[in-house]
Structure 1
Amino acid sequence: MSAVSSSNTAFALELFRTLSQTNPAGNIFVSPLSISSALAMVYLGAKGDTAAQMAQALSFSSGEGVHADFQKLNADINSPSASYILKLANRLYGENTAHFLPDFLDATQKYYQADLKTVDFIGAPEACRAEINSWVEQQTENKIKDLLKPGTVDADTRLALVNAVYFKGNWKNPFKEANTKEMPFKIKQNETVPVQMMHQRKKLPYNYIADHDLQILELPYVGEELSMFILLPKESSDGSGPLLKLEKELTQERLNEWTDRKNMSTRSEVVLHLPKFKLEEDYELNEPLAKLGMKNVFCAGSADLSGMNGEGALFLSTVAHKAFVEVNEEGTEATAATGAVIKLESFIP
């Protein structure tokens, strides 16, 4: 596993746990890659304690190596494939009267292929917001709309660093539509909802983790380069939440080991019932990221983003994130976008 994949998995699990604490019974759906890509561009301009806190929260290795890793990952992701669609795009929107260091702009272009589009945040912030949202919509096949909410950018905004990622893949073993039936799906200990449940019986990569009473199933996409993994803990008899228990026990090392194809069996037929579903979630990630230790960057007066403009007086005002996924008999369509908005500190005389 590459360093950036490893760090992204570690960040994903920590972010998942943090989001789960505030919404233990709700759905959580995010794209850690989209979030870390946008924040890695912010990290390019961070210095001192601000950079150190970001590196710790995002599980980044220190130094320039993390950016070179993202450069390689972006190239791998955007290489054409006949079996699935996977693409990632980054862009900077900068206030046309603001000065940005050539080294910063060169690095965002080199490592993240992020072009700078100059806009008029001071004179027309709402038009700028609409332009950014329109670009995100184009990159996500019209699935992510209104990433930046009204008021997110204003006359103090100096830079928006935006990422979008899109995936569409078909199952190696598609489900038959004729087998999809309405069935109850348990969402709480004593609560079910009717869903359209897909069904198949097939030899699929499967693992059972006895110590955790956990079943793991791999659903490969065509080409078998990418897969969906389903983790299903056994329902508890004492009313305790098996998912909450799993969330606490899940580590990067365990996840890597449990989902390693060498540790999975394909000898037995698996009877699978999987709901068809469509899910869209949006988040403002300032508080969860601060809980992970990324505090200074959000504080005017404490943030050091002088690597962007050579002067400082900038801070990260908002990290907006939206994610969409649809799973059906044919496969999966998933997309996400993240916007990191940088503002100028307001000085009151």
Structure 2
Amino acid sequence: MQKIVMVILLVSILAACATSNVENEEDERDHVEGEVNTLVHANNQLAFDLLAEISNDTADNVFLSPASLYIALSLVYNGADGETKSEMDELLGFKEVNQLNQSNQSFYQQLMNEKSGITLQIANSIWLNDEFQFQRDFQDSMNEFYEAEISEVDIADPSTTDLINNWVKENTEGRIEEIVEGPLDPEIVTFLINAIYLDAAWQHAFDSNSTHTSEFHLLDNSTKEVEMMMQVEQFDYLEQSDFQGIVLPYGDGQMSMQIFLPKEGIDDFDEKFTLEKWESWQHDFQKEDVQVMLPAFEVEFEATLNEALEDLGMTTAFNEHANFSKLVKETDEVYISEIKQKTFLLVDEEGTEAAGATSVEMSTTSMPGNGPSVMEINRPFFLVIIDEQTDAILFTGKITEPPARSK
């Protein structure tokens, strides 16, 4: 009888331990999911804030990769301290560098899950002036959380420019050929670079036989001829008094392009196109038969982001008050001299190809009726490309005049 009691007690103890382990695993998953959600929200806020800042200064096409910028800034954040770090806390949504690093690692793992019909590549590289040495903690974090390729280079050597640009070209499948221009300033301490590349097939491809020449209405009320693709299919669709929205999925629906088409001027819609509004619209889309007409086009975009990021609160990082004392051993007089982003976008009958590279240069001192709804994208529009699993915005843009695709 005593043996039976002991067996029962042992089983009870094992059961309690198993339950405890399951609960701990669930708590850990919930914690990780919460941290990733914090990162995604900060990334998406950056997407809308940055688009507003850049598009306010130009009437031309704008195409950005907030995800590429967010990751590049995360690399930099590991070297920041003091007021500079506090300003980046607000922008990146974290106050602890380890939390940010672990969240980026978990986000990357979710983002890189195999997706049918979709190729997504993300890579990081760091190019260090060989007269300097990284702080040990900084270098360890770059290896552990970001799988960054770290190279020590002679900044004065003209071949260094080619090394960096060739890395960017290779990791964007040739779509971005150059991110830095030589000769390089000998005061440069390091380049921290993120590259992102996407090649995604539409879930519902456009039939090239339906592509036709049509007019696109420009901001100055003139028109230009574009190649207009067309199809009728069931899509998530939204119509309000001042705009139409549509979700065009890629692959098995793991990623998508969302297009928002103002009915009147795009400038009046600018102020409405915010993260809060965008998040609320996600609940309003409904499955509906839609005849969608979308230009085939190709865009290349380049911007220096220093001023925009200063306007968003990252003020000390770009001047002599910067504190990047956790970056290199030799000096704490390091600041960001330039943040540059180049992007590429091709939209055609088969799908979408998009690429982005971000370089941080651091130096020292619904419609009624029986038929389908009609959405003719023949005037300036907004777009976002999102990962459906995490809701993260990888690319965003405002297209005012779609350039013809290269043949």
Aligned-partner residue type, residue 160 of structure 2: C
* 2:324 aligned with 1:305: yes
- Structure 1 residue 147 displacement after superposition: 1.1
User: Hey, what does 1:188 align to over in structure 2?
Assistant: 219
Q: Distance in 1 between matches of 2:131 and 2:190?
A: 11
Which has more radius of gyration? 2
- Structure 1 residue 170 displacement after superposition: 0.6
Q: Distance in 1 between matches of 2:205 and 2:268?
A: 32
Q: Distance in 2 between matches of 1:335 and 1:79?
A: 19
The 3 A distance-change label for structure 1 pair 80 and 204 is closer
Aligned-partner residue type, residue 154 of structure 2: D
User: Hey, what does 2:39 align to over in structure 1?
Assistant: 4
Q: Find the residue that maps to 1:183 and give its secondary structure.
A: strand
Aligned-partner residue type, residue 246 of structure 1: F
- Structure 1 residue 59 displacement after superposition: 4.0
Q: Distance in 2 between matches of 1:117 and 1:341?
A: 15
Partners of 2:171 and 2:196 within 8 A in 1: yes
* 2:218 aligned with 1:179: no
Partners of 1:278 and 1:327 within 8 A in 2: yes
User: Hey, what does 1:228 align to over in structure 2?
Assistant: 257
- Structure 1 residue 144 displacement after superposition: 0.1
User: Hey, what does 1:265 align to over in structure 2?
Assistant: 286
User: Hey, what does 2:142 align to over in structure 1?
Assistant: 108
TM-score between both structures, scaled by the size of structure 2: 0.78
- Structure 1 residue 313 displacement after superposition: 0.9
Q: Find the residue that maps to 1:204 and give its secondary structure.
A: strand
Partners of 2:125 and 2:149 within 8 A in 1: yes
Tell which deviates more after alignment, 332-341 or 249-258: 249-258
Q: Distance in 2 between matches of 1:323 and 1:342?
A: 21
User: Hey, what does 1:71 align to over in structure 2?
Assistant: 105
User: Hey, what does 2:18 align to over in structure 1?
Assistant: none
- Structure 1 residue 309 displacement after superposition: 1.8
- Structure 1 residue 222 displacement after superposition: 1.3
* 2:190 aligned with 1:159: yes
- Structure 1 residue 189 displacement after superposition: 4.8
User: Hey, what does 1:244 align to over in structure 2?
Assistant: 267
Q: Find the residue that maps to 2:56 and give its secondary structure.
A: helix
Aligned-partner residue type, residue 147 of structure 1: I
Q: Find the residue that maps to 2:251 and give its secondary structure.
A: coil
Aligned-partner residue type, residue 316 of structure 2: N
Q: CA RMSD in A?
A: 1.5
User: Hey, what does 2:72 align to over in structure 1?
Assistant: 38
Aligned-partner residue type, residue 121 of structure 2: K
User: Hey, what does 2:246 align to over in structure 1?
Assistant: 217
> What 5-or-longer segments of structure 1 have no aligned partner?
236-240
Deviations 1:252-271 (A, max 9, x none): 222122124xx3211x3211
- Structure 1 residue 247 displacement after superposition: 1.9
Q: Distance in 2 between matches of 1:228 and 1:49?
A: 38
Q: Distance in 1 between matches of 2:227 and 2:277?
A: 32
Q: Find the residue that maps to 1:326 and give its secondary structure.
A: strand
Deviations 1:209-237 (A, max 9, x none): 34xx22110000111010100001112xx
Tell which deviates more after alignment, 103-112 or 328-337: 103-112
Partners of 1:216 and 1:259 within 8 A in 2: no
Aligned-partner residue type, residue 249 of structure 1: K
Q: Distance in 2 between matches of 1:94 and 1:81?
A: 35
Q: Distance in 1 between matches of 2:271 and 2:92?
A: 18
* 2:349 aligned with 1:329: yes
TM-score between both structures, scaled by the size of structure 1: 0.90
Partners of 2:247 and 2:259 within 8 A in 1: yes
User: Hey, what does 1:51 align to over in structure 2?
Assistant: 85
Q: Number of aligned pairs? A: 328
Deviations 1:39-79 (A, max 9, x none): 111111111111112232x3422213222211112222334
User: Hey, what does 1:238 align to over in structure 2?
Assistant: none
Aligned-partner residue type, residue 355 of structure 2: T
> What 5-or-longer segments of structure 2 have no aligned partner?
1-35, 366-407
Partners of 1:10 and 1:59 within 8 A in 2: no
Aligned-partner residue type, residue 138 of structure 1: E
Deviations 1:98-152 (A, max 9, x none): 121110011112221113111111x31x32121111000000000001111234x
Q: Distance in 1 between matches of 2:240 and 2:95?
A: 35
